[in-house]
Chain A
Amino acid sequence: MSAAVVGAALVLTMILAGACYRQWRRNQALQAQLQAAAADLEHLQLACSRLAPGGVVQQLVADGTRDAMVAAAEHKIATALFVDLVGFTELSERLEPAVLVRILNGYYQRMSDAIDEHRGQVGSYIGDGIVAYFGALQPNPWQCDDAVRAALATREAIHVYNVELDREGLPHLSIGVGIHRGLGLAGLVGSRERKEFSFLGSPVNLAARVQALTRLHQVDILVTEALRAELDKTILLTPMPAEHVKGFAEPVVTYAVKGTIESRPG
């Protein structure tokens, strides 16, 4: 009798152990699936973050694509920063495509890092130009200082990059930066199939025109009068002669950014 009980208990224990083992194996498999799904999601987020500013990606994920596309545009006062490579056409004719792409990627990366570090969002790459916005995605009362400090960081970054290029015997890069602030339309724009976060309107157009004036004035960073009025007094500016630019009736007064009082040599 007792042997039968022991036997039954043993069988029961073995069944239980078997069930526990099966459950454990199932848990392990589910855990592996979960980790794989999390890794996929991370890759997807990383891929998305290359296509649009982080905040936009988060908003799209949170709202679902349909709602976000309908809801996202609004008028805002924001600051537009336009960076362009000086002499790119000549450079592109001289260099092998593979070398040129490597140089360009290094340039884009360094410019984007400098802009990100100062709370700007890279809107898009236009040829060798980069357009970035400050205060377009989220309210930012310090957007003008941020934009100019970002421009100074791009100057520093290109200087460091040139040292690297020099070591490899490659030509130096130089940039022109134009910054302007004003009212524009911020949001997701584009076709049904492809949209991007953008800040549209005269601030971006004028920033691009002001950027072009850097060649004329032989300086690397120019800001408009509207921006100067909002800037910290520790940012050192030099007034430039007013110039007519395409698309704007009045001549545009600009200021070259020399640096900040903290960074002023001597």
Chain B
Amino acid sequence: MPFPTVRYFIPVPWLARAIVDLHPEFGLLMHLDHHQMDILALVVSQENSCRFCYAAIRMLLWAQGMSEARIQQIEQKLSQTNLAPKTTAAIAFGLRQSRVGPQGAREARQILRDAGFSDEEMKEVAFVVGITDFLNRLNTIPAIPAHALERMPEQFHMRLLRPLIKRIVEKHRFRGRAAPLERPLTLPYAALIKAYAGSPIALALGRTIEEMWESAILTRRCKLLMLAVIARGLGCQACATEIEEAVQREGLGEPALGQVLTHLDAPELDDTERVLVRFARETIWYEPAALQRRTRALRDRLSEPQLIESIGVASLANGLCRMGATVMDHS
């Protein structure tokens, strides 16, 4: 259910498109069950304290026929819920990835292996968790209101429309088909995209990253610096190396980059970069209220599209680094 939020991000077209393009329910998953995906997204959103995503997925589960009691059981007593062992393992993985990040990737991956996930299924679980991390931040940082979504299951007309919503949801969800990568990539996260080669996920990720890269709202160097800070903060070495090389190609020398990554500042940075490098680190581990307060403080220093794009870049980087830790063998 990504659509209610798109209008907030229209000033940054690539971001509005990414919300739909990267949503796993629309033809990106070839192996993972959609119901498993919903439950995984619900638990990760709960972990990330994203009120909007949490309400949206709750609504979606309710519309598909899950009772309120069952949803509450999943939320509150996960260990006592009769979920399939693979779903339980996927949830344990999702919680670990969101809580510990790339540094816990090896253990998190082992949870999936022990539960019998194939490599391809494992990559899809990592994708769902990473994209949920992305969407959680995207909706939490600007405090997108969730009240309307939260109230939907209580409304009389929504109860009447429940079967219809279920049909619409089921009709619009579809499984992905194998799709070869059309050309070699030279963008940031090329290694991550390559790891998904053969899956429609690779094409969707490639398109989003390419459009982000082409967007002129923030400079490429500024975006790369934000990506580099998040990769450093999360300890994702594979992503960090690739991004740091790209920053240097954009004209920031190694000593200055080292200074930025160690102290979040350097004389070579312009004002926007200086502000956004610090903002990027706030998005790694966050408490919603503090992060939203700090984001509001940026409104005087950035234009609206700049602020929205910076939220999008930081959110995406958080999702991709967490995803990368599982699908690229480096941790």
Contact = CB atoms under 8 A, between A and B. Distances in A.
A109 interface: no
B53 to A, nearest CB: 16
Contact of B95 (A27, A62, A116, A139): A62
B265 A139 contact: no
A27 B158 CA distance: 14
A64 B79 CA distance: 9
B120 interface: no
Nearest to A138: B285
A199 B281 CA distance: 23
A138 B290 CA distance: 16
Given A58-B49, A232-B265, A27 B154 contact: yes
A59 B99 contact: yes
A105 interface: no
Interface in B258-282: 261-265, 281
A174 interface: no
Contact of A62 (B47, B103, B232, B261): B47
B136 to A, nearest CB: 14
A142 B264 contact: yes
Contacts of B99: 59
A31 B154 contact: yes
B236 to A, nearest CB: 11
A145 interface: yes
A234 interface: yes
Contacts, number: 39
A233 B287 CA distance: 29
B103 A139 contact: yes
A130 B290 CA distance: 22
A141 interface: yes
B263 A142 contact: yes
A138 to B, nearest CB: 4
A54 interface: yes
Size category, B interface: 20 to 34
Nearest to A117: B290
A139 B101 contact: yes
Contacts of A67: 79
Interface in A37-94: 54-55, 58-59, 62, 64, 67
Contacts of A140: 233
Nearest to B102: A139
Contact of B281 (A54, A58, A59, A142): A142
Contacts of A139: 101, 103, 233-235
B49 A234 contact: no
Nearest to A230: B262
Given A138-B285, A139-B235, A145 B263 contact: yes
A145 B49 CA distance: 28
Contacts of B103: 139
A2 to B, nearest CB: 31
B152 to A, nearest CB: 13
B93 to A, nearest CB: 14
B265 A234 contact: yes
A233 B255 CA distance: 13
A58 B233 CA distance: 21
Nearest to B95: A62
A91 B318 CA distance: 49
28 contacts: A27-B154, A31-B154, A54-B287, A58-B49, A59-B99, A62-B47, A64-B79, A67-B79, A116-B290, A138-B284, A138-B285, A139-B101, A139-B233, A139-B234, A139-B235, A140-B233, A141-B232, A141-B233, A141-B261, A141-B262, A142-B233, A142-B262, A142-B263, A142-B264, A142-B281, A145-B264, A232-B262, A234-B263
Given A141-B262, A232-B262, A234-B263, 11 more contacts: A31-B154, A55-B287, A62-B46, A62-B47, A67-B79, A139-B233, A139-B234, A140-B233, A142-B262, A145-B264, A233-B263
6 A-B pairs with least C-beta separation: A232-B263, A138-B285, A54-B287, A145-B263, A141-B232, A139-B235
